[in-house]
Amino acid sequence: MTLRPRVLIVDDDPANRHLLEQMLGDEYEILLAGDGEQALELCLREAPDLLLLDIEMPGLDGLQTCRRLKANPATASIPVIFVTSHDSPASEAAGLAAGAIDFIRKPIRYEAVRARVARHLQLKAQADRLRAMAYEDALTGVLNRRYFDQLLHFEGRVARRTCQPLSLVLIDIDRFKSCNDLHGHTYGDHCLRAVAAALGAALRRPQDLLARYGGEEFACLLPGTARDEALRTAEYLRREVEAAAIAHPHTPAQVLTVSLGVATLVPGERDTIEALVEKADWRLYEAKSLGRNRVCG
């Protein structure tokens, strides 16, 4: 079954939300939000393909909502069409400066809405294909190192601004070189894909991010996660990889296992992102030194 594109309609007026839903609901999956904060939450959780965003809203207005979407690498690629009764050049300039790609004028006309939404979803699909080539690791399908580093620094700034913890888990496949040496690089590639799949399936929150960090090493970023919870998550990841039973006869468990190092950026402390990575790397080294197939943090 082909998945329908997701369109998020954001308007504080229920009548306007209902009208747009009636216009588009036969062709697209519709998500609804009544304010900017709810829209930001839905964008992170549901990853819509397009936003129809009212400018005039109480609290976080459309311009502020758009700026925050574009400031976050996880949501910056979602195109925003402003739905507005304003038609002055200054209003249009402000919307474009905030990151919008188009405007739909009120009163809303059926043909204009359908045509603009279809066109921008087509452009979004093309951009997504190019972005996947730039941001995804070609072998495993998870994020690549370059994009992960961007997200890591962004989440570090968010953690400091919101006084929330940020945890990093570095993951290394145990005895991977011997796996390659004994079974060949084709089987080694299969193992990398299988480990990435097990790790990705084990992550339960949409804001948690997994990347191939280099070679046989992966990284997992856990925003808003304190040390104890990060250690529990890392242990769950370790168990899930072991339970995947990826054959590797030359290990004690006869299956592929991983070692994990955990570090946390604590609110109020002055540690840098670089220090966070160094701590996680040291904890990973400790896990390997203590016998592998374990979590240290």
Provide the annotated active-site residues. Answer: 216
Structure tokens at 201: 């399936």
Buried-state track 266-290, b at ≥16 Cβ within 10 A, e below 16 = beeeeeebeebbebbbebbeebbee
Strand order, beta sheet including 80-84: 29-33, 6-10, 50-54, 80-84, 102-105
How far is residue 92's CA from residue 173's CA, in Å, rounded to a whole number? 52
Contact call for residues 100 and 66 (beta carbons, < 8 A): yes
Strand partners, 56: none
Structure tokens at 223: 């925003």
3-state secondary structure of 267: coil
CB-based contacts of 114, cutoff 8 Å, min separation 6? 23, 24, 27
How far is residue 62's CA from residue 109's CA, in Å, rounded to a whole number? 20
| Residue whose tokens read 């949409």 | 206
How far is residue 201's CA from residue 179's CA, in Å, rounded to a whole number? 23
How far is residue 232's CA from residue 276's CA, in Å, rounded to a whole number? 18
Alpha helices in the chain (DSSP H): 14-24, 36-46, 62-71, 89-98, 110-135, 145-162, 176-183, 185-202, 227-243, 273-289
How far is residue 281's CA from residue 150's CA, in Å, rounded to a whole number? 18
